[in-house]
């Protein structure tokens, strides 16, 4: 933090206590020996998508996951739980793009997926070596197999089983194609997959199928969700918000409620890959969608989180929401209720403030290492570079973990340590990963004062 900084901090629930000076969880040294940026206080809970431990309506979740991003046993208070200061030495969540091959042609595709695998795609041996490196983080992350479509790899079941053998928690984001069968879902379950994440981008077939580029995708997605429920396979739903479905938020929330999902991960478009600028909603429309998500989070039994819309955390705190509330409590189901307790157990908490390069890490199908899949800035390349060293020591990643280095209003915002804005969107629109979040209407008091002093 800047010396002498006196920027106001947002009010947070009283249940979040300050650590004592001797608290072993207080921020300490970076593993490489350099001082790690210090947080002004403990960070509330949240989720970045498929994450191992997740929190409540504050924006990121009432749920937890990885593929986007649900959790191993043990919540934020449990032994070995991921804590705020861990972002400096270990990611909570690693996305491994096992392939870019995919049979869909989604309008927003970050990967610009193609029907066939890239000739330089990491093979089975290299993928195993990569998984082994993930175990060398001080706190091994949850690993999300993403793509493309992971089912386009014949060895994906072996990779899941090997990751579990190494002690890693694994989630997967398959595409809704005929490659997803009952037999394959059962094989994933038996191999030890932690969670399945499917994409639903409309409340009806017309909206969803137009977005995914293949007719029948909507029906296929609902079939996968029903089959996963039948097989007892935990699942989350990922939705990308665009101009074409922003008015369907409530309808989608009700639709997915019938499938016993754990988490609804709502992604806000970053114009990268096939994600087009004209599909983006305005900053004012973000607030309207936030309001709907906030209301749904107080009613639904599943968790609700945002991805690449970190300012939803600010939105919830401004409404005196509790970022650490679980879906059971928020939906009016007391913790003592068996059903509510079951849902609460599988929705553990993760620290707020998780974002691109800060608790999140991405390795591409050819081994390129990025802060996230939506920020394709190469920080290293596996196997030439050690992934642990890249995460801990990359100058860019260390900047992304220090909100005091952000530019513009984000750098002085009173919510910068629990929000920080979408670094990926800032980069996509300005080519500066430290620039202010382009789609946030909030004007921090310190920024307003600075503007007024300049105008005088």
Residues 6+ apart with CB under 8 A from 249: 241, 266, 289, 292, 293, 296
Sort strands 359-363 and 368-370 into parallel, antiparallel or unpaired.
Answer: antiparallel
Q: For residue 315, which phi and psi values (nearest 5 degrees)?
A: -55, -45
Answer yes or no: is pLDDT of 41 > 60. no
Residues 6+ apart with CB under 8 A from 24: none
Residue 325 domain flag: yes
Q: How confident is the model at residue 57 (pLDDT cuts 50, 70, 90)?
A: very low
Nearest to 46 by CA among 24, 69, 26: 69
Q: Which residue has the higher pLDDT, 42 or 193?
A: 193
Q: How confident is the model at residue 323 (pLDDT cuts 50, 70, 90)?
A: low
Q: Domain of 211: which CATH number?
A: 3.20.20.70
Residue 42 domain flag: no
Q: Quick one: what percent of the chain has pLDDT higher than 90?
A: 64
Q: What does the pLDDT look like over 226-244, one tens digit per residue?
A: 999 999 999 999 999 999 9
Give the count of domains, the chain: 1
pLDDT value, residue 145:
98
Q: Quickly count: other Cβ atoms within 10 Å of residue 264's Cβ.
A: 28
Residue 393 domain flag: no
Q: How far is CA 414 from CA 6, 8, 19, in A?
A: 10, 5, 20
Q: 408: phi > 0 → left, psi -120 to 50 → alpha, else beta; which?
A: left
pLDDT value, residue 77:
34
The neighbouring-strand residues paired with 243 are none
The residue range of the domain holding 255 is 84-356
Maximal C-alpha separation, the chain: 69
Residue 78 domain flag: no
Residue 173 domain flag: yes
Q: Among positive and negative, which fits the CA dihedral 98, 102, 106, 111? A: positive
Contact 83/27 with Cβ under 8 angstroms?
A: no
pLDDT value, residue 126:
98
Q: What does the pLDDT look like over 182-222, one tens digit per residue?
A: 999 999 999 999 999 999 999 999 999 988 888 899 999 99
Residue 319 domain flag: yes
Q: How confident is the model at residue 355 (pLDDT cuts 50, 70, 90)?
A: very high
pLDDT value, residue 111:
46
Range in 32-41, 189-198, 260-269, 433-442 with the lowest mean pLDDT:
32-41
Residue 227 domain flag: yes
Residue 329 domain flag: yes
Q: How far is CA 142 from CA 65, 115, 169, 264, 300, in A?
A: 9, 28, 5, 18, 25
pLDDT value, residue 122:
97
Answer yes or no: is pLDDT of 225 > 70. yes
């Amino acid at each position: 933090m800047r010396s002498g900084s006196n920027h106001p901090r947002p009010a947070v629930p009283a249940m979040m206590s300050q650590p004592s000076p001797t608290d072993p969880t207080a921020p300490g040294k970076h593993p490489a020996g350099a001082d790690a940026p210090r947080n002004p206080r403990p960070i509330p809970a949240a989720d970045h998508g498929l994450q191992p431990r997740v929190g409540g309506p504050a924006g990121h979740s009432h749920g937890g996951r990885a593929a986007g991003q649900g959790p191993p046993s043990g919540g934020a208070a449990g032994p070995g739980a991921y804590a705020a200061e861990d972002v400096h030495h270990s990611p909570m969540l690693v996305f491994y793009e096992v392939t870019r091959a995919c049979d869909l042609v989604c309008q927003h595709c970050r990967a610009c997926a193609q029907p066939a695998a890239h000739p330089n795609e990491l093979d089975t041996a290299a993928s195993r070596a990569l998984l082994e490196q993930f175990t060398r983080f001080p706190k091994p992350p949850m690993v999300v197999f993403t793509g493309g479509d992971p089912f386009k790899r014949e060895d994906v079941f072996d990779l899941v089983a090997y990751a579990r053998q190494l002690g890693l928690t694994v989630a997967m984001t398959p595409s809704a194609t005929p490659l997803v069968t009952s037999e394959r879902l059962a094989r994933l379950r038996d191999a030890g997959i932690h969670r399945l994440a499917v994409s639903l981008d409309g409340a009806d077939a017309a909206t969803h199928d137009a977005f995914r580029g293949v007719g029948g995708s909507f029906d296929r997605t609902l079939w996968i969700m029903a089959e996963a429920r039948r097989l007892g396979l935990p699942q989350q739903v990922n939705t990308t918000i665009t101009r074409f479905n922003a008015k369907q938020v409530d309808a989608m929330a009700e639709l997915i409620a019938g499938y016993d999902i754990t988490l609804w991960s709502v992604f806000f478009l970053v114009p990268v890959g096939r994600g087009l600028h004209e599909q983006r909603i305005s900053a004012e429309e973000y607030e309207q969608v936030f309001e709907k998500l906030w209301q749904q989070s107080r009613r639904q039994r599943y968790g609700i989180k945002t991805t690449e819309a970190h300012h939803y955390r600010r939105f919830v705190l401004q409404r005196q929401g509790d970022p650490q509330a679980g879906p059971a409590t928020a939906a009016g189901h007391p913790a003592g209720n068996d059903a509510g307790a079951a849902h609460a157990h599988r929705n553990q908490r993760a620290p707020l403030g998780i974002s691109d390069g800060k608790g999140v890490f991405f390795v591409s199908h050819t081994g390129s290492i990025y802060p996230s899949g939506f920020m394709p800035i190469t920080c290293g390349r596996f196997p030439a570079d050690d992934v642990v060293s890249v995460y801990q020591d990359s100058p860019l990643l260390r900047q992304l973990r220090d909100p005091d280095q952000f530019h513009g209003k984000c750098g002085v915002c009173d919510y910068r340590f629990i929000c920080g804005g979408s670094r990926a969107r800032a980069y996509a629109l300005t080519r500066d990963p430290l620039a202010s979040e382009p789609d946030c209407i909030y004007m921090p008091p310190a920024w307003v004062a600075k503007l007024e002093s300049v105008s005088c």
